[in-house]
Structure 1
Amino acid sequence: LGPVGRSQYLDWLATGRPAETMSDDHGLLFLSGIERRCIKAKRGQMTADAEAFREIRRLAEGAPKQSVAAARMREFLFYVAVQQETQDSYLDAEIDLSRLERGRSMVAHYQLARKAKDEAPLLADEVLAAMLLNGDIAPRTPFYRCHQEVLTIFRRLYEAKYKKGITLKVATHGLDLGYWASNPTIGTAWLPRTGLFSYRIPPSTQKKIREFLATATDALDPYSRRLATRPQDAGRLPTLALYPPELLRDHETIRALAELAKGAPEGRLSGDAIAEHWVDWPERPLSKSERECLAMALWAAGYAMEPNYASTVPILPDGAVYVTPHGPEDDSEGSDDYRSALPMMNLVATVILGSGRPREVDRERICFRVAEMAGVWGSEAQRLRVYLQFLLEFGAPKLLKKGFDSIPQNRREPLLMILAEIISGDGHLGPAETTELLRIAKGLGIKEEEVYPLLHRSSGTATPRPKTEGRSKGSPFDMNSIADKLASSQAAAEILGAVFVEEEPVSVSAVPIVAAPAETGFAAFVRELSGQDSWSAAEF
């Protein structure tokens, strides 16, 4: 086995097998020295004793299946098989994560070591095993516990029910951890964004997991009427969302949606047109999951749908969605800049609808300015345009503090300028319009004293301020009166500056000292003043 293998095995014996778990007879016999007979020194190398191997096999076969000692013996046999690259093992080559303990596991350790040596990619369950072995996560971690719940419920309810017609395996898809549900007749389906896994939330309830697994089995059930005897019903929203991408592109519902989107006027796709090709189109607003399914179907058809997944505006069954072609490199969820522009567009739509003249607003110009400010170009700029069209037709979502906070700080003042242009209409901002802008600026976190200079610089004219109302306490200030006082003070200062002009600089020592009026009397002071025709500023 080699000196490295021997040291690793002895390390496992020292740290990976707590003595209290080996209390049965076979465990005591295992600890009595059989493992020492399995490995003998021969010319500096480690060799296996065939007789000791047979004894361990006999003990492992005779021990109860649930025996901890028997499990350790089988792990040792697997360890030797891995080192000798033989199939002489009582364990499967794949890691069973449901039985992986927090302590060392020889099976997991050496299986991961072999893959790492060959530079082979790790599956998600192997990633979890490595994290457990390294101590990065514990069996109490929500991700690990939730995975255990999913596998337990799946085996208990679905694997036995369908006689292994459906399999569920943890895997990676890009950077996401999820499940591949597979069926030999139908194929595979990736189950993304289940909401089941997170380090920040507790494990999901059994009810939620059952609903999740029921959706997967409905999509891949070979005995289901939806996909076996009634293929025309395969256009259901939940079922279609679980189709693998390579099959989704050729689906007849997707092809029908692509034809509808191609002939949609200005990208408007009505709900009635979708209902003609979609089985059981709901008579209520689409839920978030149904909206994601519809967006996924249109994306497979080559079109991005607005409102997208991040919007809070409900899609009515008798309403419409707006579609625009997407690029081959685009992401269905959009870039970070695109997603940051959505709350700004919600605010723009609210202001346009509240202005009372939505038809007079130059929408193309407004969309261009918002897209330019957000750094969005190309197909994503078109998505913003159709998103604004949807909002203006069906109403913008209610503006909440969360929506204001999601707008980047460096884009709030330029956004306020765009909103001021929409509110002013004819270029004039009255007191009512200014009050509305101040309310929006407060939501954006812009101070009132910063709004007036901002509007003044953008318009080039003075901005009227709303009338100051009486206050219950404090000192009210009329900013217009203060401005008038400052202007009159400036005029008086200019007059005084014109009257008192210095002809020549006069030294202080040359100025005659005039007695104070209190000492000589007022009459003498008047005579002194009348004795000269003019006075310099210093003499005065």
Structure 2
Amino acid sequence: MESLGWWVIIAVVLFFLIRRNDKSGKKDINRKANEPSRGAKSRVLDASAQSCWLPMGHAVEIQGYSVPGGMIYVGDGLANGRGIDVEPSLINPKLKVNRREVDYSGDHMGYWPSYSNIHPASRAAYLEWLAGGRKDSSANIGYVFLFFYGLERRCLLDPNKHSVSATEILEITREVQRLRDLYAEKSGSFDGYSARFLDAIKLNSSPETILSENPASDPNMRNKSEILVKFALGKAASADQPIPVGWALAWVCQDPEIKLRTSAKRCPEEFQALFRARYAERYGEGLVIKPGKTQARFYYAPASNSLSGVHDSQLYNGPSVPDVLTLKKPRRLISEFTDEVMDELDSYSRFVGREKESRGSFQALALMPKPISKLFEKPEVAAFREKLFERLGTEDIAEIPGQWIFEQFPTGKPDQMTKKEAVLLAQAFEKIGLGVVPDVRFTNHKPTLAQPAVIFRLREGAPSAPSKEFELAALLMRLSIMVADSDGEISSEEEQHLERHLESGLGLEAGERDRLRAHLQWLPKDAATRGMTGLKKRVEALDIVARTAIGNVLVTVASSDGEIDAREVAMLQKLYRLLGLDPNNVYMQAHAIAAAPVTVRSAQPQTDDYKIPKKPGGEVSQGEPPRVALDEAALSRKRHDTEQVKALLSSIFSDEPEEEEIEIKVLSNETSNSSIAGLDSEHSVLVREIISQQKWTRVELEVLASKHSLLLDGALDTINEAALDLCGAPLIEEDADSFEIDVEIVEEMTA
């Protein structure tokens, strides 16, 4: 029994010894299996970067691939920036490559790839991309990054130990820019890393030229790099120099504390152009900033995780510059200025957001700020502009066919305009330096397809809305033309007198006088304005003093050509009745104009005219009919008697805004239950409640959503998708547990 016990003990010991050996063997097998990815740690990493670096233009054969162009590390034993592992961009020619199953799609690529660790099929794809000249735009972005890691190392790490020429640095930056042209739009990550790399190299290699350069800026590419912006602003501030417009624009595009709204993002080119124009107007050569005490520091976050520790002392070793980005006042000034620029673009942005193909059209021109209007017009708009100025020639006023307008300015209905369309038309003409008559903003008449319009040169500072004086002048002109034209023709004397009397008598500004002359030329062309339609309502708003004064002016105008015939008298009497005046007072007013007693003779069969006598010494032909004799000197005095006309201003009609307000309210009530941006009724009602305030907490919105039997996250996705489809931007932006409503998108969605 005792011997049996010893055998049991020996058997147990042998069992555990064998089991331990099995485990040890398995560990060896696992280690060998992982050797391609971890074997580098067991080797001595003593290769120099200089010995592994293949300069530009040098070709190399790797695993059957002929790789041209150089700019890569090839060899074995090169440590990464931390010295604890293999350099990820190093191509070890001894590692296996699977050419039968090439990983073009990059399925086996990790987030931070290293050539020594990636799958053999991925190595084949990478080498094939290199062999093809690094220009296959369909390549997986991981392969581009793997190559980029080497360029980062060569420019930012190697110069600390080896000689890297300025020429080589320049060649590398050109290569990175070439890669950006191919892949930046494809990968936002590569776009950001490569942009920051180029900025870091610029600061490191040629800081003295930075301030004089014109940097790239794009409102849709935010926060890519602050390195050069920080340096340029600090450099300008330290030298007490103005900040050039290019750097001011780069500042607002890169500073995360400056919010850019939809108008800047939807219309980036227009925003940049307007920013430049307004910046020059506001600040001349540029905004001057007083430097603070905080000095700027510069950091670079490399794409390669092996290059940690690349800091400001390695990027810039020149004289210190102040950190302007830490100052509150300059940021507030440039932010407020940027808001003003975006405000100017808001209407234009909303229009092109609704009408995707309208950018550069004549309609879009109406809403575009004038300083940039010529920069973005379509060729057909430029041709129309040229056509209009050819029609003007050397004159200040010219007539154009109504058809021209409707061909260039499409409307909802083919032969007529809404008031909104007519306003846009007038604004579009303003942008090309012309006024147009009729202009619905001034006289409530709209262009028609059948009737000619009149254009005139618009002087700088001309008003775009009527003054009370102009409104009165337009009314008197309309009434006067009805009288002057009642004898079948309008004499030049009648037109000249009408123009002089209204211009001087009402004290019109120069721009208003230009418009009134154009209005005078247009009025006889439109028969509709010579009728009584629409006049009664305006006249009823005038008191008896004003109406009497108008009647007196009408008689004066009618007699300006030296005679008043029976048809003019008839029209004057008709207008007197419209004015609520005694028609017989026409004769009294005509007599009052004369300096001498007037003899009214009985009408003869041959004529019913009244004529001012000829000057003394003149002969009257036999058979000439008797007329009302009026003294021209008294007539002249009356033409210059403007005080009575000015008295009308206290009681003249207004723009009748009450009707418009009522119309808006009714429209609001009618649409309270209508769909917003194509959403169903539940989501539309939720939108109306959400836009009642600009900021919400998640709890508040969850309560609102549940009230309409909606799940908040799904409802927000649905609403924002509708906003993106309509406006190109979301309505609701989430920040942690708070939500902010984009006011500009609200206006577009509910327009």
TM-score > 0.5 by shorter chain: no
> Normalising by the residue count of structure 2, what TM-score does the alignment of the two structures yield?
0.30
> Normalising by the residue count of structure 1, what TM-score does the alignment of the two structures yield?
0.40
